[in-house]
Structure 1
Amino acid sequence: MASPVWQFYQVSEKDSKFAICKVCSKEIPRGGSQPKKFNTTNLIRHLKVRHAEEYDEFSKLASTKAERERFRLAAQAPLTQLPVTETLQQQQPYSKTSKKPKEISAKIMEFICLDHQPLSIVEDEGFKRLMSYLDPRYILPGRKYFTDVCLPQLYQEVYTHIDNLMRDNIKSFSFTSDIWSSNVCPMSMLSLNAQFVDENFELHKVVLHSQDFSGSHTVEALAATFIDMFQTWGIPKEKVHVILRVNAKNMEKAMRDADLPSLPCMAHTLQLAVSEGVLSQRSFSDVIASGRRIVSHFKHSQLAYSRLQSIQKQLGQPIKRLQQDVPTRWNSTLYMLQSLLEQRRALSAYGADYDLPAMFTDSQWTLVENMISLLAPFEELTQQISLSTASAADVIPSIRALTRLLEKTAETDQDAKTSKATLLEAVQKRFRDIESERLYTIATVLDPRYKDRYFPDALKPQIRELLSDVLAAGPEQQNGEGSLAASDSEPPEKVPRAGSLHAMYAELLDEDGEHGGDDSCSSASSQMNLYLSEPVIPRNGQPLVFWQYNKGRFPALAQAARTYLCAPCTNVDSKQLFITGGNVVDDKRNKLSAKNVEMLIFIKKNMPLMLKK
């Protein structure tokens, strides 16, 4: 009866003394020089050592008593039954010319970069044991090898990929920038993130720099550093569409001195408007201060939290912790107030039995409700503009919808009319010049969700003239075959809730009226007229998808859209980049050089673009 082991082997045609493994094609001796001395011991042993899954399958097939006995003896057979050369080879490290150890080291370097692992992990005993078990022939190099050899090699590989991606017929770039300081070491870094739209109307986001920026953050130092960063990548100023920055005066002046177009971050401007309009008022600031003391009481006392948790259970409320706010982020203050209001009954019950450092009065609870109602639209808008798909086209429509909402009178305004008016005034002050900003205006018109519908009628002739100038200055028009409009395939838009920020967009569109037109265009002027005459696509539609489908109908407009719709409206990407920076420069890696930190961040943020290919 043939052994089931032959399901995994075949006799060598060159020499019957050997069997060929069907899994790895390796020649295995059959245990003798004469056919009568052939056995399956070596074959079984090879499966056990090299192919665990096939070995398990074989063990299930070995049903006869004799086969089971042979299987037992083979499993216990010493490794010396393998050919001496193979045994010695398994015990020897890889040669210096072998590619395998270099490939393994490269994968370890990827693991360190992608998963925020410290470079010192290669010197940890547990990691050494793991690598020795996975491949005994691989000698794990020390930390210095990974720092001085593997890290620069991987950085150069990713750098080349990003450089090639940016040189692929890209006409213009938009950027975000910010400054970050580490909490665990004296290190400051200046970021530069790039966005661009390729010929297929796909938006790309890459990290170019997160470089050391020690010393005083003067206007001169900032301007010189930005010029150096663009020169490093060979990006001429003519291709710099805009840089989104914080509202700091030194950053704003540095951009002007470097002759670089820039705009403030919309999210930061909203933060300033909320701080001026609401958070700076005495009544609100007192409530916020009391709320922080309440949250801090439970945050720093496990006993107090346990008592609150018991009360929450007795009241049938979900077990939740109170949220601590961050003074520099107004929406975190909103979250704190929401968590306090949600636990109002539990906090009142707690205050009846135990001491609290502060407690809201009935009028203050009403004020908390008013604050939440006032700030909810700002939170909704902040979430919208912080999306990865948000662009400069969202600024004008969003602010018009927000001001329209603040101008409306609601039932909940009885105790907050003054605050609402102050908040409206702060918004109007901070965003008073947006319609005169060329980038915002052109981006809005080229977004098929908005077009010119969110501008006053008196401004529309000027806007068309401005767009005509942009098209006249653009690349040569190219005729292409027409295709289906993207609006035909967009999902239906949800009906907005009355009185919400979303509803204000619909209200503004309704006031503008319906548009329609024929389907013929040739010149840039006729393209513009036809495009503006057609209805907008739903707000949940995708502008770049629209232009991908309609670049044949509106070639001049489509090329302009590649430039203007690549501009973000916030520098959120740069802020998120420094979350990565905080993960790289932590307590275990607080002695990393700034150069190595930049390489680690660069690889972490950009390597996923390579892995998608």
Structure 2
Amino acid sequence: MDKLLLRFIAGSLQPLSGVEDANFEALLNKAQPSYSSPSRKELSSKLLPSQTQQLQEHLNKKSSSVGYVCVTPDLCTNRQMRSCTGITCHFNDNFQLQSTLLACTRFKGSHTAQKIHATFTEIITSFNLQTKILTIVTDSGTNVLKALVTLPGVDDANTNQDSEGEEEDDTFHIPDNNDNLLQLLPGHVRCFVHTLQTTVKDGLQEAGPVSGVTGQASRLASHVRHSALPSDIVQVSADLGTKMQRDGTPVTRCFANLLNIDPAKLHQLNCPVKITKYELNLIKRVTDILTPSEVATLECQGENVVTSSKAIPCIRGLKAELEQPSQTHESKVITTLKSSIKKTLKIYEDKAMFQLASLLDPRFNMDWCSPQQVMFITSLLKSKVHDIKSTATEEKGSLQENKEAPTKKCRLFRFMTPSASTSSSLCTLTSTLSQVQSYLSQPTTEDDSDPLLFWEQNQSPLPQLAILALRYLCIPPSSAPVETLFSLAGKVFRPERCTMIDVRFEELMFIKCNQHLANYTLHDK
């Protein structure tokens, strides 16, 4: 019962004082008369630390059994000016994607790259992940990037581009005692979703009249949020105002909400900014153009599902959508978006980790490749397979047969056509080269199928490919997991809980975000 109580307190972010509330005690006495609930002091000084330690040990055990992990670190300051840093960890555990919290800790003092670097290093070493990190995914916060790019092996050619966040710090030097760790840390990838949203925003700003309409809609939203309006208008407009504060794809949601407001009610807003009928029509056309970018954002932000394989197909799907004949009349918008996507998103198309992830996803296989790329991508996969030294004798087996390639349901993926090498013939597999050829000859699976289930079912005939799939399909192309973490942290740091000590905050966050690891203890007596 104590563990279930902890699950309730941490899972719903309840104040610890709730266990001493008379109404809560009455409820427990009615539900379980024989149970004596712990006091607030016992909960904070004994039960929370004990459960946190159990979860940390269990996470350590899990992470020690996997070959590769990906992490998403970040730093955030809330409205109460309280800063915290967090790192989430992602890996494949027995063909199941796992997302866990390594730590969410208070961060005090200046946000220098040196301090951020020291914090990340301490967390990584506490879980013995020095040699296992395949990729680090972050947004474009300046000092977070500087803390990472000083690590050997972190390759980011665009580090000097404009970035958001903390004040820059040019005085960072690598601590001498971290040399061993720094030689082992991996490459860095910027959040694909954040980059996509920035790309769309930049494209709109260069699109002449469209950028002006976007600004007017933003000012209208700001006016609405600070006006006393009838409740039926306020509800729609509040959503409009909230979503306009973000970049990129949410602009389409803002526009959609704006278009859903009755034109007659727009005149009731008494706003200095008036949107004409022509401008509303322009907003509608721009919304149609930007909708695919919203689809791409949603496709690449799933939780505990494979998303790394979708980055390149989404980019190519966006390009294909902009080539549709129905879009040619919006020449200025289309031209600027094409240029922005080509310039900014090319780094993802050129990264081997995303190429391999797309290739090893049976939903895509080779269908996303251009004819000029087929030979290069096939050679890349063969070289990776050749590098793997199998620790066990290969088993003979046959691939599970897929009758034919299904039609793609997602509009972004309809540009794909079945690979010319697709064949229904199956063969017994023994050599690594025959594994590659036999996999590439398979038709793709359904859009909503689980690629990890495919590899679990075919790990016997395709052992080396299955190892590669587990490695590259665990990469999150977005930093959304750690950003969600900070949203939760903001709920903990409510004004009425301002006296909470740092250790208690860190324990609550760790239990809250790793509850799925606690399932193994829920039935313990």
- For the aligned pair, the TM-score class normalised by the smaller chain equals 0.7 to 0.9
The 10-residue stretch of structure 1 (293-302 or 128-137) with the greater mean CA deviation from structure 2: 128-137
**Aligned 8 A contact 1:224 1:258 in 2:** no
Match of 1:469 in 2: 383
Residue identity over aligned pairs, in percent, reads: 25
Residue by residue, what CA displacement relative to the aligned partner does 1:144-176 show, whole Å, maximum 9, x if unpaired? Answer: 332222210111122222222223x31111122
Q: How does 1:269-348 map to 2 (within 5 A)?
A: 269-279=195-205, 281=207, 283-302=209-228, 304-306=229-231, 308=233, 323-324=240-241, 325-347=243-265
Q: Secondary structure at the match of 1:507?
A: coil
Shift of 1:229: 1.3
**Aligned 8 A contact 1:486 1:546 in 2:** no
**Aligned 8 A contact 2:406 2:445 in 1:** no
1:263 aligns with 2:263: no
Match of 2:135 in 1: 242
Match of 2:110 in 1: 216
- Whichever residue aligns with residue 384 of structure 2, its letter is V
The 1-side partners of 2:232 and 2:447 are apart by 47
* 438 and 181 in structure 1: CA distance in 2 versus 1, 3 angstrom threshold: same
Q: Secondary structure at the match of 1:508?
A: coil
Shift of 1:215: 2.5
Q: How does 1:132-281 map to 2 (within 5 A)?
A: 142-167=39-64, 169-184=65-80, 186-198=81-93, 200-237=94-131, 239-259=132-152, 260-279=186-205, 281=207
Which one of the candidate residues 321, 336, 344 is aligned to 1:405?
Answer: 321
- Whichever residue aligns with residue 195 of structure 1, its letter is H
Residue by residue, what CA displacement relative to the aligned partner does 1:570-597 show, whole Å, maximum 9, x if unpaired? Answer: 1111111222212222122222222221
* 128 and 262 in structure 1: CA distance in 2 versus 1, 3 angstrom threshold: same
The 1-side partners of 2:457 and 2:196 are apart by 34
**Aligned 8 A contact 2:399 2:426 in 1:** no
Q: How does 1:12-23 map to 2 (within 5 A)?
A: none
**Aligned 8 A contact 2:224 2:237 in 1:** no
- Whichever residue aligns with residue 196 of structure 2, its letter is L
- Whichever residue aligns with residue 553 of structure 1, its letter is P
Question: Which ranges in structure 2 are unaligned for 5 or more consecutive residues?
Answer: 153-185
The 2-side partners of 1:610 and 1:493 are apart by 39
* 299 and 478 in structure 1: CA distance in 2 versus 1, 3 angstrom threshold: same
Match of 1:538 in 2: 446
Which one of the candidate residues 78, 84, 108 is aligned to 2:5?
Answer: 108
When the two chains are superposed, the root-mean-square deviation of aligned CA atoms in Å is 2.8
Match of 2:163 in 1: none
The 1-side partners of 2:277 and 2:244 are apart by 25
Which one of the candidate residues 396, 410, 413 is aligned to 1:505?
Answer: 413
The 1-side partners of 2:121 and 2:328 are apart by 50
**Aligned 8 A contact 2:137 2:191 in 1:** yes
Shift of 1:558: 0.7
Q: Secondary structure at the match of 2:105?
A: strand
1:523 aligns with 2:454: no
The 2-side partners of 1:196 and 1:285 are apart by 41
Shift of 1:468: 2.2
**Aligned 8 A contact 2:207 2:336 in 1:** no
1:578 aligns with 2:486: yes
Match of 1:360 in 2: 275
**Aligned 8 A contact 1:515 1:534 in 2:** yes
**Aligned 8 A contact 1:299 1:305 in 2:** no
**Aligned 8 A contact 1:486 1:545 in 2:** no
- Whichever residue aligns with residue 16 of structure 2, its letter is L
Shift of 1:464: 2.4
The 2-side partners of 1:361 and 1:562 are apart by 53
**Aligned 8 A contact 2:292 2:412 in 1:** no
Q: How does 1:388-427 map to 2 (within 5 A)?
A: 388=303, 389-410=305-326, 413-414=328-329, 416-427=330-341
**Aligned 8 A contact 1:180 1:578 in 2:** yes
The 2-side partners of 1:276 and 1:270 are apart by 10
Residue by residue, what CA displacement relative to the aligned partner does 1:235-285 show, whole Å, maximum 9, x if unpaired? Answer: 123x11111111234333322322332211110010110111014656334
After TM superposition, the score normalised by the length of structure 2 is 0.84
**Aligned 8 A contact 1:584 1:597 in 2:** yes
Residue by residue, what CA displacement relative to the aligned partner does 1:491-549 show, whole Å, maximum 9, x if unpaired? Answer: x95665xxxxx345333325x43512541321212211221122222333221011011
The 2-side partners of 1:286 and 1:228 are apart by 47
After TM superposition, the score normalised by the length of structure 1 is 0.73
Q: Secondary structure at the match of 2:249?
A: helix
Shift of 1:107: 4.1
Q: Secondary structure at the match of 2:439?
A: helix
* 475 and 118 in structure 1: CA distance in 2 versus 1, 3 angstrom threshold: farther
Which one of the candidate residues 437, 451, 456 is aligned to 2:365?
Answer: 451
**Aligned 8 A contact 2:236 2:257 in 1:** no
The 10-residue stretch of structure 1 (569-578 or 583-592) with the greater mean CA deviation from structure 2: 583-592
The 1-side partners of 2:309 and 2:187 are apart by 17
* 485 and 566 in structure 1: CA distance in 2 versus 1, 3 angstrom threshold: same
Shift of 1:323: 2.2
Name whichever structure is richer in helix by fraction: 1
The 1-side partners of 2:515 and 2:288 are apart by 42
Shift of 1:568: 1.4
**Aligned 8 A contact 1:483 1:549 in 2:** no
**Aligned 8 A contact 2:104 2:510 in 1:** yes
Match of 1:19 in 2: none
* 454 and 109 in structure 1: CA distance in 2 versus 1, 3 angstrom threshold: closer
Q: How does 1:572-611 map to 2 (within 5 A)?
A: 572-611=480-519
Q: Secondary structure at the match of 2:430?
A: coil
* 468 and 287 in structure 1: CA distance in 2 versus 1, 3 angstrom threshold: same
> Between Structure 1 and Structure 2, how many residues are aligned?
484
The 2-side partners of 1:406 and 1:164 are apart by 48
Q: Secondary structure at the match of 1:509?
A: coil
Shift of 1:306: 4.6
The 1-side partners of 2:370 and 2:145 are apart by 30
Shift of 1:143: 2.9
Q: Secondary structure at the match of 2:98?
A: strand
Which structure has the larger Rg?
Answer: 1
The 2-side partners of 1:229 and 1:459 are apart by 40
1:118 aligns with 2:33: no
1:431 aligns with 2:345: yes
- Whichever residue aligns with residue 310 of structure 2, its letter is D
Match of 1:46 in 2: none
The 2-side partners of 1:242 and 1:319 are apart by 40
**Aligned 8 A contact 1:190 1:213 in 2:** yes
